[in-house]
Amino acid sequence: MRGTKIPLVLYVKSMISKDLVRDIVLSSIAETAIFVVDVKVDNAGRIFVEVDKPEGITIEECVKISRAIESGLNREAEDFELEVSSPGLTEPFKVMEQYLKNCGRQVDVVKRDGQKLGGLLQHADEEGIVLETKAKVKEAGQKRPKTVMQTVAIKFSDIKTTKCKI
């Protein structure tokens, strides 16, 4: 066997790019109110796409996006599993559009310093959010604290997670 060369064959599974999937989704939702929340592609060929829109995404819209992705990828060259859905109600917000969609709703915010706040999401912009919260304030001469409404501005850089209250 000395001197015999044994060919080494490597099978490399081509990887579907997250950017490619995102581009396909973006082109399929152009000129609609639908926005991309997240795109994940794992090493096992599973593709997870989360999409939403201000009034809520429908199953039919998810199916349409799924078909667009499937037609944009080559099943002959790639073996993949695909899931297109809306983000879960209990999942933290990932994109600005989710904050805008949920203005006027009750949310729970966990700040990076560990402080937890709950309240009405009043406003969101590129800087951060404005939350209307209840606070207990003890006024001079009073034995018990009084509950008052406060408006709190929080920068996105200070926010760890934000979730809708259910």
Each residue of 86-124: pLDDT tens digit? Answer: 998 899 999 999 999 999 999 999 999 999 999 999 999
**pLDDT exceeds cutoff 50 at 6:** yes
Domain architecture of the chain: domains with CATH: 18-85 (3.30.300.70), 96-164 (2.30.30.100)
With a threshold of 0.95, does the pTM exceed it? no
What is the per-residue pLDDT for 139? 81
- The Cα angle at residue 34 between residues 105 and 31, in degrees rounded to 5: 135
* Distance separating alpha carbons of residues 110 and 108, to the nearest angstrom: 7
* Per-residue pLDDT reduced to its tens digit, 33-73: 999 999 999 988 899 999 999 999 999 999 999 999 999 99
**pLDDT exceeds cutoff 50 at 21:** yes
User: Could you say which DSSP state residue 115 is in?
Assistant: -
